[in-house]
């Protein structure tokens, strides 16, 4: 047992914090208005090696673990969660490739995926299914050396940006309910994003509908090759856990930001001749918030550590997600109580954090699903 950050981890934390404050923060207003992420911001993050933090060096990564990844995600989300999330979706696809792809595929795709211009997408959800692979309608049909893909995906993050997409398709040839994961370069012939969603928050995150109209990619793009054909559900589960870890880290990062905002405000805001930080009611709120942040921080690191060990993560990730997302929501809400009417204005970042926070209880499976997953192994 050792709960201390190493020197390297502290340095990483510090440099992500500085980068986020100096490079991301000035762009937030633009991203919130334009509802896009500047492509060169992504490139800067990639150049720093933070998209490849948890991958081995031979695939273009920096050879660290999911603990470092979680630290990076927490610090970036403290400034702007949308950007952290954009990066984390790249990480989910990367996790799929790392876990299930053939060695040849890893060497072919990962260096560009981790360091190149584009940013990855992970495409499962469809209009008729959020988590049931049996209900997929997007199809893949083998035609000689190629796959032909047809269908629609929705709520796909980063789909409007260039890069690689891991797409889940119904593979009728393999039998009923079977699905296969295929890697496609976004923007190729037959690929379009007819709609980018307007949302409550997370405005820097580009979430799209995707239409696939006779998209053709080499048959060898099957993630994991022939052996993994028809085993798409396994691929789905393998990376959603990492996706979930990212959500947890993002929730803690945002909660930290909300706490800091409330602390700062409470020391500046004077009532009856003294800062409101001196009132026990405010202290009690701050104490609750800081507890949620502290507990969330520890369990994100604990779960990230387990991920690094390659251990089965489903239950722990679900439990961590359940706690951190609820904590994030609570903390953001309490920060607004501390800050009163000002918190509701766009002058302060807390209204954005409050809107962004809600998503952590929803994506990668709503919290009700997390509770069920958390109990599955126990009640079997």
Residues noted as catalytic: 364
Quickly tell me which residue has 């050396």 as its tokens. 145
Is residue 314 within the footprint of another protein (CB under 8 A)?
Answer: no
Q: Which part of the chain contacts another protein (CB under 8 A), choosing from 22-30, 205-213, 290-298, 355-363? A: 290-298
Among 23, 32, 112, 288, binds another protein (CB under 8 A): 288
Is residue 305 within the footprint of another protein (CB under 8 A)?
Answer: yes
Among 53, 277, 328, 357, binds another protein (CB under 8 A): 277
Closest distance to another protein from the beta carbon of 217 (Å): 39
What lies within 8 Å, CB to CB, of 205 at 6+ separation is 37, 82, 85, 86, 157, 199
Buried b (16+ CB within 10 A) or exposed e, 316-329: bbbbbbbbbbbbbb
CA-closest candidate to residue 159, choices 125, 115, 127: 125
Closest distance to another protein from the beta carbon of 86 (Å): 26
DSSP structure class, residue 143: E
CA–centroid distance for 198 within its chain = 18
Is residue 320 within the footprint of another protein (CB under 8 A)?
Answer: yes
Within 13 A of 130's CA, how many CA atoms are on the CB side?
7
Residues 351-370 that bind another protein (CB under 8 A): 368, 370
Is residue 257 within the footprint of another protein (CB under 8 A)?
Answer: no
Closest distance to another protein from the beta carbon of 322 (Å): 4
Is residue 31 within the footprint of another protein (CB under 8 A)?
Answer: no
Element at 153 (helix H, strand E): strand 146-157
CA-closest candidate to residue 264, choices 202, 317, 343: 343
Shorter beta-carbon distance to another protein: residue 68 or 126: 68
- Structure tokens of 88? 């984390």
- On whether the CB atoms of residues 185 and 126 are closer than 8 A, the answer is no
Among 157, 223, 266, 343, binds another protein (CB under 8 A): 266
Q: CA-CA distance, 26 to 8, in Å (whole number)? A: 27
Residues 44-83 that bind another protein (CB under 8 A): 67
Q: Which part of the chain contacts another protein (CB under 8 A), choosing from 14-22, 76-84, 97-105, 280-288? A: 280-288
Shorter beta-carbon distance to another protein: residue 247 or 286: 286
Beta strands 146-157 and 164-170 are: unpaired
Q: CA-CA distance, 230 to 294, in Å (whole number)? A: 42
Q: Which part of the chain contacts another protein (CB under 8 A), choosing from 4-12, 14-22, 133-141, 151-159? A: 4-12
Q: CA-CA distance, 331 to 201, in Å (whole number)? A: 17
Is residue 319 within the footprint of another protein (CB under 8 A)?
Answer: yes
Is residue 196 within the footprint of another protein (CB under 8 A)?
Answer: no
Q: CA-CA distance, 153 to 232, in Å (whole number)? A: 16
Interacting residues toward another protein by CB under 8 A: 1-6, 9, 67, 259, 263, 266-267, 277, 280, 282-288, 290-291, 294-296, 298-299, 301-302, 305-306, 309, 315-316, 318-320, 322-323, 368, 370-376, 378-379
């Amino acid at each position: 047992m050792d709960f201390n950050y190493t020197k390297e981890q502290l340095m990483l934390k510090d440099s992500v914090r500085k980068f986020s404050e100096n490079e991301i923060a000035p762009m937030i207003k633009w991203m919130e208005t334009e509802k896009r992420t500047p492509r060169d911001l992504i490139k800067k993050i990639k150049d720093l090696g933070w998209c490849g933090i948890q991958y081995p060096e031979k695939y273009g990564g920096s050879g660290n673990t999911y603990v470092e990844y979680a630290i990076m995600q927490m610090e970036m989300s403290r400034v702007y969660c949308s950007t952290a999330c954009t990066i984390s979706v790249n990480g989910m696809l990367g996790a799929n490739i790392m876990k299930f792809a053939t060695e040849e595929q890893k060497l072919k795709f990962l260096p560009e995926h981790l360091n190149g211009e584009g940013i990855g997408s992970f495409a499962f959800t469809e209009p008729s299914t959020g988590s049931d692979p049996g209900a997929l309608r997007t199809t893949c049909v083998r035609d000689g050396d190629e796959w032909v893909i047809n269908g629609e995906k929705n709520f796909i993050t980063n789909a409007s940006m260039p890069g690689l997409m891991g797409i889940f398709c119904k593979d009728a040839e393999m039998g009923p309910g079977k699905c296969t994961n295929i890697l496609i370069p976004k923007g190729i012939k037959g690929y379009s994003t007819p709609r980018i969603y307007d949302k409550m928050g997370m405005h820097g995150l580009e979430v799209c509908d995707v239409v696939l109209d006779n998209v053709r990619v080499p048959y060898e793009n099957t993630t994991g090759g022939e052996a993994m054909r028809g085993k798409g559900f396994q691929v789905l589960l393998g990376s959603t856990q990492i996706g979930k870890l990212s959500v947890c880290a993002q929730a803690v990062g945002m909660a930290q930001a909300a706490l800091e905002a409330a602390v700062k405000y409470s020391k500046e805001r004077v009532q009856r001749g003294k800062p409101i930080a001196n009132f026990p009611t405010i202290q009690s709120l701050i104490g609750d918030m800081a507890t949620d942040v502290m507990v969330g921080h520890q369990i994100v690191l604990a779960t990230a550590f387990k991920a690094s060990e390659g251990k089965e993560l489903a239950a722990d990730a679900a439990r961590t997600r359940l706690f951190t997302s609820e904590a994030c929501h609570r903390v953001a809400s309490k920060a607004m109580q501390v800050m009163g009417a000002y918190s509701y204005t766009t002058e302060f970042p807390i209204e954005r954090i409050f809107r962004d926070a809600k998503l952590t209880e929803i994506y990668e499976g709503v919290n009700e699903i997390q509770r069920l997953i958390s109990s599955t192994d126990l009640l079997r």
